């Protein structure tokens, strides 16, 4: 029996491959420390858990979710209120907000709602691997837009050939950026909106790290830019600010035609988010802002610890302005995957090879700060012992 040809054009999902590698090593008795996957170990705020339990006990929530394809209006109103307070963005909850089973679902539904077979879709390189997979599944043609360190890993729109801009149907990008930790500026987002308007390109700005910023960096939304809602949407998630990765709840916001298209795809794909999870999401948005400040202090402490260690190991490590990742240059003459393997073999520490995020990720590895302080201290000790100068 033959499977769909499109699957042959999709590489194995990076994080599933890493999880399998970790599981195999642990089964062989190796004490593996994973600094490869961005999954916070701290618990979800207790108030959110309590609200879930309360809502889950109500039989009214045991049926199909309310307004199933869009998310309950109360949740969408909470999202609109949060965006106005945090990012100064005005959203109409009924038509410009869509509840998602995690923002990753939004990547997929954006492609199915906007991309026809043969359409060119731009994506950053390095970039989140799910973008390419969703483009391919929708029948689109992924085309990389390089991110260069000398341009602070921001897209240089002047470097995109005019014929490429004219051919593009859509573009994926995200700032604060996974994997580089780069952050955007208001001027950059304004330039993005203007470029997209000029060439009629639908923008999908993936913004799940919007709250994870350091050193006085301002929290920004693409939707703040003049004309942004005319050309695109933004995805976001409760996963990172509220330690809710396993809860699978996020949102898409912006252009109402794109939101309507995604909603149509979603209504024919799933039956929505469990009501109890949506009520818990409302609680997070309305009453758990202190969790964000607490986690920023934790990640800042950890990134400083890891930066000191990497410097002691002679590695080119710069403090990121956003996300809970460190994007670190590998020694000259070494390939990313080779150096990641060397770290694993010598220190039993798993990191992500930059090349897994695209050809322009070669020369880098990515460290995640989402482990306990104790395990990070142990990982740092191993790195110093094996790679310290």
- Residue range 107-159, pLDDT digits in tens: 999 999 999 999 999 999 999 999 999 999 999 999 999 999 999 999 999 99
247 and 366 share one domain? no
Last residue of a domain, one of 233, 260, 287: 287
d(CA 203, CA 206): 9
At 6, the pLDDT band (50, 70, 90 cuts) reads confident
d(CA 331, CA 353): 13
C-alpha 37, offset from chain centre: 11
The parent domain of residue 254 ranges over 46-287
173 and 65 share one domain? yes
Q: How many domains does the chain have?
A: 2
62 and 118 share one domain? yes
- pLDDT for 14 equals 61
Strands in 168-173's sheet, in edge-to-edge order, are 97-100, 250-254, 232-237, 202-206, 168-173, 120-125, 141-146
pLDDT in tens, 270-313: 999 999 999 999 999 999 999 999 999 999 999 999 999 999 99
34 and 147 share one domain? no
Residue 78's φ and ψ, nearest 5 degrees, are -65, -40
pLDDT in tens, 22-60: 788 888 888 999 999 999 999 999 999 999 999 999 999
Q: E strands of 318-369, at which residues? A: 325-329, 349-350, 352-353, 364-368
19 and 110 share one domain? no
Whether residue 206 has pLDDT greater than 90: yes
Could you tell me the CATH number of the domain that includes residue 315?
3.90.1150.10
Last residue of a domain, one of 225, 256, 287: 287
174 and 219 share one domain? yes
d(CA 307, CA 6): 41
Give the pair of three-digit tokens for residue 356. Answer: 């897994």
253 and 312 share one domain? no
Give the β-pairing of 120-125 and 33-34.
unpaired
Instruction: Give me Rg for the CA atoms of the chain.
Output: 21
109 and 18 share one domain? no
Average pLDDT, the chain: 95
- pLDDT for 244 equals 98
Last residue of a domain, one of 237, 272, 287: 287
pLDDT in tens, 170-184: 999 999 999 999 999
Residue 232's H or E segment, with its range, is strand 232-237
CB atoms under 10 Å from CB of 203, counted, come to 28
333 and 370 share one domain? yes
| 3-state class (DSSP) for residue 367 | strand
Contact 327, 360 (CB under 8 A): no
115 and 229 share one domain? yes
- pLDDT for 380 equals 98
- Bridge partners of 213, per DSSP, are 322
**Predicted model pTM:** 0.95
């Amino acid at each position: 029996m033959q499977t769909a040809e499109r699957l042959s054009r999709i590489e194995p999902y990076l994080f599933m491959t890493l999880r399998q590698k970790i599981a195999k090593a642990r089964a062989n008795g190796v004490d593996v420390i994973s600094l490869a996957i961005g999954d916070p170990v701290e618990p979800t705020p207790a108030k959110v858990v309590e609200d879930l339990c309360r809502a889950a006990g109500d039989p009214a929530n045991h049926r199909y979710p309310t307004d199933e394809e869009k998310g309950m209006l109360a949740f969408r109103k909470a999202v609109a209120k949060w965006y106005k307070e945090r990012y100064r963005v005005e959203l109409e909850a009924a038509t410009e907000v869509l509840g998602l089973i995690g923002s990753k679902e939004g990547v997929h539904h954006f492609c199915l709602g906007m991309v026809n077979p043969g359409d060119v879709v731009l994506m950053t390189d390095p970039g989140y691997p799910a973008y390419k997979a969703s483009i391919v599944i929708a029948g689109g043609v992924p085309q990389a837009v390089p991110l260069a360190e000398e341009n602070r890993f921001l897209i240089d729109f002047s470097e995109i050939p005019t014929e490429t801009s004219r051919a593009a149907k859509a573009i994926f990008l995200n700032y604060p950026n996974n994997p580089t930790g780069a952050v955007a500026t208001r001027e950059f987002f304004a330039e993005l909106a203007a470029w997209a308007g000029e060439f009629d390109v639908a923008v999908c700005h993936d913004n799940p790290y919007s709250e994870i910023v350091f050193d006085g960096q301002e929290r920004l939304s693409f939707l703040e830019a003049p004309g942004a809602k005319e050309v695109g949407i933004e995805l976001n998630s409760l996963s990172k600010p509220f330690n809710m990765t396993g809860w699978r709840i996020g949102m898409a916001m912006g252009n109402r035609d794109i939101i309507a298209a995604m909603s149509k795809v979603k209504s024919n794909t799933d039956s929505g988010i469990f009501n109890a999870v949506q009520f818990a999401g409302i609680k997070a948005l309305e009453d758990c802002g202190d969790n964000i400040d607490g986690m920023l202090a934790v990640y800042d402490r950890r990134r400083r610890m890891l930066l000191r260690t990497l410097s002691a190991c002679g590695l080119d490590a710069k403090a990121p302005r956003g996300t809970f990742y460190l994007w670190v240059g590998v020694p000259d003459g070494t390939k990313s995957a080779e150096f990641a393997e060397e770290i694993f073999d010598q220190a039993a520490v798993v990191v992500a090879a930059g090349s897994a995020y695209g050809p322009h990720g070669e020369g880098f590895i990515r460290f995640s700060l989402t482990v306990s302080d104790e395990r990070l201290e142990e990982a740092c000790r191993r790195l110093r012992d094996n790679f310290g100068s």
